[in-house]
Amino acid sequence: MRRQEHDEQVALFKWAGHLASLYPELGLLFAIPNGGKRDKLIAVQMQREGVKPGVPDVCLPVPRKGWHGLFIELKFGANKPTDYQLEWLEQLAEQGK
């Protein structure tokens, strides 16, 4: 069986679910549905609702030690971030500086 980014994200949420009793804030971890294949109609609807290309895959909106929260862009194997993803990550890293 070939592992994929999807499998890694599923494993992340399974891990967070197991540790949520010790760290309840992990219950706030959520996925951002930006990726995946969609037909044009659904893609247009999601874009109108505010979905934007490049937004990281996962968010933990819990502030810690001066940080506003955690965004995670998952990559697996030889996958590389897109220009949109790099731009988002840069802009997010600049917040609060």
Question: Residue 83: what are its φ and ψ, rounded to 5°?
Answer: -60, -40
Q: What is the pLDDT of residues 1-44, one digit of tens each?
A: 567 888 999 999 999 999 999 999 999 999 998 877 788 999 88
Report which of 34, 22, 40 is spatially closest to residue 71, judged by C-alpha positions.
Answer: 34
Question: What per-residue confidence (pLDDT) applies to 2?
Answer: 64
pTM of the model: 0.86
The pLDDT of residue 1: 57
36-66 per-position pLDDT tens digit: 778 899 988 999 999 999 999 999 999 998 8
Q: What is the mean pLDDT of residues 72-82?
A: 92
Give pLDDT, residue 91.
94
Q: What value, to the nearest 5°, has the Cα angle with vertex 92 and ends 11 and 25?
A: 45
